[in-house]
C-alpha cells in the first residue's frame, strides 16, 4: 500500500503553477502577482491639502497667533476634484478641502480650526511652517518605481496600491477553476423531501466550499447517478472549463462504483489504497487533451474532507504558485488514551478541551472515528495525526495537530 507521503508526492509531481493570466483588479486579491508593477506617475500626482482649511503662503501669516490673528482676503474655494487651475496672489488665501489641489503659489495650509472660518475674509490664528498640511507630489510613491514586485501575494493593501497607481488589470497566477462532481444514485440535492433510501448530497457543497477556502474557484455540479454513461457525459462536458476535477464517491470496489471505470477510460487515472484512515481508497491522474488533474475522492464525507485536506488543498496551492503548500502544524497533547490501526496514518477530528501544563492544547476526539460522522467533523477545530506505526496513545502523549481554519488566503 502506498503511504500518504508517496501519494502526495505523486500528485505534486504532476501539478504546477497555472500559466499567468491578465485579470481585472477586482479578482486578484489572493492571487500571486506574476509581473513587476511600476507606477507610471507619482503618488500623489499633484500637491494637495491634507486638511479642510485655508491654503496660503506661510510668509503672509508668519506673525499670526491665536490672540492676534492675521486677516487675509479669501480668493475662492477649492473642493476635492476641482479641475480649475487656481493661482494664489501674495496676501491672499483660498478656502481648500481635504484632497483638493493646492493653488499655484500657496505653500501651506492652515486647518480651519485655527481660523474663524471666514468666507470673504479669514482670520488666521496660526503661523504654519512651509509645507504644513501639504501632500507633496511623489511623497508617497515616486514615478517609475516598482510598487508591487512579481511574486507578491496580493491582498487588500497591495490591490489598493495597484488601483491608486492606475492599474485596472494585472498579470497573476489565476485561481484554479475546480469542478466538483459528487456521484451516487442515493444522492439528492438538499431543499426538498428525501425519498426512501436517499440522502442529501453534502460532499459537493463541502468540497466546493473547501475549494473556495483553498483559493480556488469552485464549479459545483449537482449529484450524478452511478451510471457510467451519465457520468462520462457530465465529466466530458465539465472538463472544458476546469483546471482540476474533484469527484466524490464510487472509488471503492462495490458493484456501482463507476467512477473508477469511467475515469480509467477517460484518461490516465490510477486507483489504489493509501495507508491512511479515513480516506483509504484514492484515485488520481489526468484526463483529456489538456491533462487536467483529477482527484477521485472516497464518498464518505469525512474521508472526502480529509482527502481534500491532505491531497487536494496542497495541489491547489501549488497551482496558485504558492511556496507554502501545507497548513501550519502545532503540537498538542491527548487528553484521553486511544487506539489507532496499525499501518495507517490516522487523521482524527479533535476539539480542544483545555491547556496542558506545558501550555499545549489538550485535545479530545470529536466524536467517533467512523467516516460518516459529519457532526463531529463540523465541531472539530483540528485534525490530529496519529503516525502509521502508532497503535496506542496514552493521555498526555504529544500529538501533531493540523488546525482547520476555514477561511484563509
Positions in the binding site for Mg ion (CB under 5 A): 184, 249-250, 299
- Minimal distance, residue 225 CB to Mg ion, in Å: 10
Over its C-alpha atoms, the chain yields an Rg (Å, rounded) of 31
Which span (87-95, 151-159, 196-204, 345-353) binds ligand AMP, by CB under 6 A? 196-204
With CB cut-offs between 5 and 8 Å by kind, which of Mg ion, ligand AMP, none does residue 182 bind?
ligand AMP
The DSSP call for residue 114 is: G
Which span (43-51, 171-179, 198-206, 288-296) binds ligand AMP, by CB under 6 A? 198-206
376-408 burial, b if ≥16 CB within 10 A, otherwise e?
bbeebbbbbbbebebeebeeeeebebbebeeee
Q: What number of chain residues touch ligand AMP (CB under 6 A)?
A: 19
Asked if 201 is part of the footprint of ligand AMP (rule: CB under 6 A), the reply reads yes
- Minimal distance, residue 391 CB to ligand AMP, in Å: 26
Asked if 204 is part of the footprint of ligand AMP (rule: CB under 6 A), the reply reads yes
Q: What would the x/- binding string for ligand AMP be over residues 156 to 195, using CB under 6 A?
A: --------------------------x-x-xx--------
Within residues 245-274, the interface with ligand AMP by CB under 6 A covers 248-252, 254
343-353 burial, b if ≥16 CB within 10 A, otherwise e?
ebbbbbbbbbe
Within residues 85-144, the interface with ligand AMP by CB under 6 A covers none
Q: Which is nearer to ligand AMP, 52 or 257 (CB)?
A: 257
Q: Which is nearer to ligand AMP, 180 or 362 (CB)?
A: 180
Alpha carbon separation from 8 to 126, 130, 393 (Å, rounded): 69, 63, 26
User: Distance (Å, rounded) from C-alpha 45 to C-alpha 30?
Assistant: 28
With CB cut-offs between 5 and 8 Å by kind, which of ligand AMP, Mg ion, none does residue 202 bind?
ligand AMP
Asked if 52 is part of the footprint of ligand AMP (rule: CB under 6 A), the reply reads no
CB proximity list for 96: less than 8 A, separation 6 or greater: 49, 52, 53, 54, 55, 77, 78, 102, 103, 109
Q: What is the residue whose three cell numbers read 470673504?
A: 120
User: Distance (Å, rounded) from C-alpha 383 to C-alpha 374?
Assistant: 14
CB proximity list for 261: less than 8 A, separation 6 or greater: 228
Within residues 279-298, the interface with ligand AMP by CB under 6 A covers 298
Indicate which single residue of 25, 199, 275, 365 sits in contact with ligand AMP (rule: CB under 6 A).
199
- Minimal distance, residue 202 CB to ligand AMP, in Å: 4
Q: Which is nearer to ligand AMP, 33 or 280 (CB)?
A: 280
Q: Which is nearer to Mg ion, 158 or 304 (CB)?
A: 304
Residue 399, all three cell numbers: 500529538
Which span (41-49, 288-296, 299-307, 377-385) binds ligand AMP, by CB under 6 A? 299-307
The DSSP call for residue 116 is: -
Residue 24 burial (CB count, 10 A) = 9
With CB cut-offs between 5 and 8 Å by kind, which of ligand AMP, Mg ion, none does residue 201 bind?
ligand AMP
Edge to edge, the sheet with strand 292-297 lists 217-224, 177-183, 244-248, 292-297, 281-287, 267-273
User: Distance (Å, rounded) from C-alpha 402 to C-alpha 333?
Assistant: 13
With CB cut-offs between 5 and 8 Å by kind, which of Mg ion, ligand AMP, none does residue 11 bind?
none
Q: Which is nearer to Mg ion, 165 or 183 (CB)?
A: 183
Alpha carbon separation from 247 to 173, 206, 299, 301, 404 (Å, rounded): 24, 12, 9, 12, 22
Q: Which is nearer to Mg ion, 281 or 332 (CB)?
A: 281
- Minimal distance, residue 209 CB to ligand AMP, in Å: 13
Q: Which is nearer to ligand AMP, 48 or 247 (CB)?
A: 247
Number of H helices, E strands in the chain: 8, 27
Return the closest-CA partner of residue 217 out of 227, 229, 209.
209
Query: What are the residues binding ligand AMP (CB under 6 A)?
Result: 182, 184, 186-187, 199, 201-204, 248-252, 254, 298-301
Amino acid at each position: 500500500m502506498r503511504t500518504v507521503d508517496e501519494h502526495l508526492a505523486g500528485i505534486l509531481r504532476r501539478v504546477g503553477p497555472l500559466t499567468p493570466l491578465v485579470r481585472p483588479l477586482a479578482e486578484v486579491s489572493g492571487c500571486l502577482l506574476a509581473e513587476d508593477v511600476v507606477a507610471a506617475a507619482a503618488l500623489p500626482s499633484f500637491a494637495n491639502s491634507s486638511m479642510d482649511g485655508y491654503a496660503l503662503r506661510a510668509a503672509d501669516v508668519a506673525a499670526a497667533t491665536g490672540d492676534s490673528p492675521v486677516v487675509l482676503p479669501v480668493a475662492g474655494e477649492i473642493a476635492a476634484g476641482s479641475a480649475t487651475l487656481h493661482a494664489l496672489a501674495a496676501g491672499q488665501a483660498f478656502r481648500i478641502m481635504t484632497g483638493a489641489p493646492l493653488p499655484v503659489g500657496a505653500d501651506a495650509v492652515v486647518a480651519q480650526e485655527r481660523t474663524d472660518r471666514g468666507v470673504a475674509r479669514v482670520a488666521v490664528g496660526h503661523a504654519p511652517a512651509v509645507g504644513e498640511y501639504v501632500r507633496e507630489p511623489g511623497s508617497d510613491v515616486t514615478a517609475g518605481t516598482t510598487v508591487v514586485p512579481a511574486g507578491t501575494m496580493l491582498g487588500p493593501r497591495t490591490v489598493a496600491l495597484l488601483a491608486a497607481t492606475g492599474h485596472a488589470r494585472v498579470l497573476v497566477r489565476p485561481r484554479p477553476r475546480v469542478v466538483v462532481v459528487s456521484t451516487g444514485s442515493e444522492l439528492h440535492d438538499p431543499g426538498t423531501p428525501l425519498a426512501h433510501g436517499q440522502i442529501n448530497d453534502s460532499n459537493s457543497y463541502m468540497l466546493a466550499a473547501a475549494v473556495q477556502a483553498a483559493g480556488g474557484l469552485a464549479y459545483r455540479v449537482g449529484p450524478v447517478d452511478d451510471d457510467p454513461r451519465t457520468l462520462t457525459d457530465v465529466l466530458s462536458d465539465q472538463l472544458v472549463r476546469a483546471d482540476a476535477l474533484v469527484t466524490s464517491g464510487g472509488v471503492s470496489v462495490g458493484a456501482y462504483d463507476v467512477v473508477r471505470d469511467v475515469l480509467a477510460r477517460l484518461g490516465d487515472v490510477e486507483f489504489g489504497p493509501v495507508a491512511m484512515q479515513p480516506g483509504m481508497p484514492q484515485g488520481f491522474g489526468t484526463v483529456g487533451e489538456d491533462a487536467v488533474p483529477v482527484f477521485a475522492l472516497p464518498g464518505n464525507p469525512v474521508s472526502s474532507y480529509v482527502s481534500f485536506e491532505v491531497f487536494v488543498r496542497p495541489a491547489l496551492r501549488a497551482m496558485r504558485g504558492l511556496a507554502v503548500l501545507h497548513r501550519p502544524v502545532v503540537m498538542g497533547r491527548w487528553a484521553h488514551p486511544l487506539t489507532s490501526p496499525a499501518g495507517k496514518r490516522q487523521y482524527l477530528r479533535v476539539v480542544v478541551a483545555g491547556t496542558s501544563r506545558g501550555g499545549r492544547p489538550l485535545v479530545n476526539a470529536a466524536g467517533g472515528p467512523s467516516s460518516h460522522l459529519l457532526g463531529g467533523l463540523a465541531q472539530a477545530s483540528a485534525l490530529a495525526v496519529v503516525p502509521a506505526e502508532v497503535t496506542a496513545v496514552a493521555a498526555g502523549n504529544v500529538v501533531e495537530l493540523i488546525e482547520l481554519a476555514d477561511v484563509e488566503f
